[in-house]
Chains A and B, each alone.
Chain A
Amino acid sequence: MSDRMLLATFEHEEDLLDAVEVVRKKGCKIIDAYTPYAVHGLDRALGLRPSRLTWVCFVCGMTGALGMLWFEYWVGALAWAVDVGGKPWNSLPSNVPVAFETAVLFAGFGSVFALLGVSRLFPGKQVLPVLERVTDDRFVLLLDETDAQFDVSTIKAMLSPFNLVALEERVVSGGELQ
């Protein structure tokens, strides 16, 4: 599969935000935007839904907490019950600290690995040289050109009020630009 894409480069986050708004109003398909830092409000401008990673965090955290509570109970009261200072074998309060730490550990690692998985970030992943300045100070908007009504000159006219730095057409095979 090969896709034609249009890369519009801007110098300021405000330009990118304004451009995104105009382009979306026109009904063009935005594939993605690339920014050097997390631009406040860009997610809303692009219409991104709230991330569901919070659920991953919750589920992992609960797994850690409940799993560890059960394990501590099994170790302390079932597998080899040891009397410690006369406390009950299944003393819940003394099981809380370790269960809490495990919950945090699982929730933290779970969300991070889910983030890396969902965003397809992995060691050795190749990046396109065209996006090099994004990690420095450039803001790039990536538009889908496959729509039959797509006209580069109209888009150019539409984006030029926003201090457009560069406009470039690209043919990308394999779906993803990166």
Chain B
Amino acid sequence: MAETEQQQPEPAATEASELLRPTLITGGKTPADVTRDICAPMEGRPTALWWGALSISLTALLAGVVAVTYQIAMGIGTWGLNRTVGWAFDITNFVFWVGIGHAGTLISAVLFLFRQKWRTSVNRSAEAMTLFAVVCAGLFPVIHMGRPWLAFWMAPYPNTRGSLWINFKSPLLWDVFAISTYLLISAVFWYIGLIPDLATIRDRSKPGWRKSLAGIFSLGWVGSARTWHRYETVYMLLAGLATPLVFSVHTIVSMDFATAIIPGWHTTIFPPYFVAGAIFSGLAMVLTLMIIARKVMQLENYITVLHIETMCKLMLSMGCIVGLAYGTEFFIAAFSGNPYEQFVFLNRAAGPFSWAYWTMVSCNVMIPQLLWFRPLRRNIAFVFLISIVVNIGMWFERFVIIVTSLHRDFLPSSWADYTPTIIEITTLIGSFGLFFSCFLLFCRFLPTIAMAEVKGVLKNPRRAAKQDSSKGDAA
């Protein structure tokens, strides 16, 4: 509760304008302040907290590397899969990470097209998060192949097997194209946004490795109006391209399931359901990371309660869509008259995996309803907790969809149970290690907030000066 921050009410005239257009960046920052504040964490020595977090993440990553090496050497028989449950932990993790990766593009592209200026404080780190999450996601299908050194077989190249080409009619192949395009476009989007900030770092650093590297990667950016003009055009184009892309990616991921004839997977609701779920989980992860980052890096004036509250509203709306999808699935199963479909859903809610199902429903639908209350949305400790809950809930959503649909199939004699092995769990932990190691390194070496964009949404200094003098307390 102590962290609930309230903007001090201003005199009447300002208050009215505050209601119309709330201050995004608090603390009366000037562009020079923005540069200094955002660059400060990169220029100082890393704190003990950062080293601690990095060591934990790297340890988790190392454990993951050992687990993956072992399972590749031994074969994926080291997993808890069986003939009935042929997909479980690995694909759950894949869909989970791809979902996390959706918030970055939502914030940077979709909100850009909707002219949501608050996005400027969070888009950089959300995009970075997207990149790392998609990398984590991409690893799982490669591991799942069992022979990852043959991953290049998925590329359409003339080969000595015929040429027997890849099957463009398979959703799994669409996935390869969707995920790799998404990774590349997100990387380019992120890098293009970084160029002006890298130029800032280049210009303020003393000669040394930082200045040289920033000099190379800022590509000689000097902030020319002509370049900005073209840059804005390209940024808009990329946003326009990334928006349908982000929807297509999770649509295609959902088709991995929806085009199969397994009851519980074979539904037309899957694409919108998956996209909403992806954005939901991504926003939760953005909130988790942002709430930590603003505290540790003292960015409270840049990532304000307003930002957190807005993201909570978005998350709540996505959570409601997800809840609606859960309900719709049950309704359609009942309405279809298809006994297999009906059985799968009853089995989900009351079968051996009902604990996973109800974890999912409470974490994703019930608990987030608390966000309808404004004081709770503005309570940072509470929002942090909710974001963790949603992350857990969304992991279970994928687990429920995949495992409960498979484990009791058409033939009762082949029904089976599924328990993950330690190898699978360690692989999941390793992916978290990879994600957080990358994110911590990003926070250390690159500006976590898009300086050039934040400078553009600062309160107009001249107008602010006028207001100050009218109040009689001119600075």
Contacts and interface: CB of A to CB of B under 8 A. Distances in A.
Interface of A: 12, 14, 32-40, 42-43, 46, 48, 50-51, 53-54, 57, 61, 71-72, 75-76, 79-80, 82, 84-85, 87, 91, 94-95, 97-98, 100-102, 104-105, 107-109, 111-112, 114-116, 118-128, 131-137, 178
Rank and list the top 7 A-B pairs by shortest CB-CB distance, nearest first.
A125-B220, A137-B31, A121-B219, A33-B225, A51-B233, A97-B174, A75-B165
A42 B230 CA distance: 12
Contacts of B163: 79-80
B349 to A, nearest CB: 32
B229 A43 contact: yes
B241 to A, nearest CB: 5
Interface string B408-442: 00000000000000000000000000000000000
B312 to A, nearest CB: 28
Contacts of B248: 97, 100-101, 104
B225 A53 contact: no
B184 interface: yes
B169 A112 contact: no
Nearest to A100: B248
A54 B30 CA distance: 34
B153 interface: no
**Chain B residues touching A, majority SS:** helix
Q: How large is the interface on B (under 10, 10 to 19, 20 to 34, 35 or more residues)?
A: 35 or more
B243 to A, nearest CB: 10
A46 B225 contact: yes
B192 interface: yes
Contacts of B242: 104, 108
Interface in B4-49: 30-32, 35
Contact of A121 (B188, B195, B245): B195
Given A105-B185, A132-B203, A137-B31, A34 B231 contact: no
Given A51-B233, A80-B162, A135-B196, A123 B31 contact: no
Interface stretch (B57-65, B316-324, B397-405, B454-462): B454-462
Contacts of A91: 169
B169 A94 contact: yes
Given A54-B233, A111-B234, A115-B231, A35 B203 contact: no
Contacts of A101: 174, 177-178, 181, 245, 248
A14 B461 CA distance: 9
Interface string B138-166: 00000000000000000010000011111
Contact of B167 (A35, A71, A82, A112): A82
B446 to A, nearest CB: 15
A21 B378 CA distance: 44
B222 A123 contact: no
B155 to A, nearest CB: 12
B127 to A, nearest CB: 14
Contact of B227 (A40, A97, A121): A121
B241 A95 contact: no
Contact of B177 (A87, A97, A109): A97
B204 interface: yes
B314 interface: no
A37 B224 contact: no
A38 B228 contact: yes
11 contacts: A43-B225, A87-B169, A95-B168, A97-B177, A97-B255, A101-B245, A104-B241, A104-B242, A119-B224, A124-B216, A135-B199
B174 to A, nearest CB: 4
A112 B192 contact: yes
Given A14-B462, A104-B181, A104-B244, A134 B230 contact: no
A23 to B, nearest CB: 13
Contacts of A79: 163, 165
Nearest to B36: A136
A40 B453 CA distance: 12
B238 A111 contact: yes
A112 B194 CA distance: 13
A108 B228 contact: no
B133 to A, nearest CB: 18
Nearest to B233: A51
A109 B223 contact: no
B79 interface: no
Given A38-B231, A108-B238, A122 B219 contact: yes
Given A39-B456, A119-B230, 7 more contacts: A40-B456, A46-B225, A97-B255, A104-B241, A108-B241, A132-B204, A136-B204
B226 A36 contact: no
Q: Which of A35, A42, A109 has the most CB of B within 10 A?
A: A35
A65 B128 CA distance: 28
B200 interface: yes
Contact of B238 (A75, A87, A112): A112
A37 B163 CA distance: 51
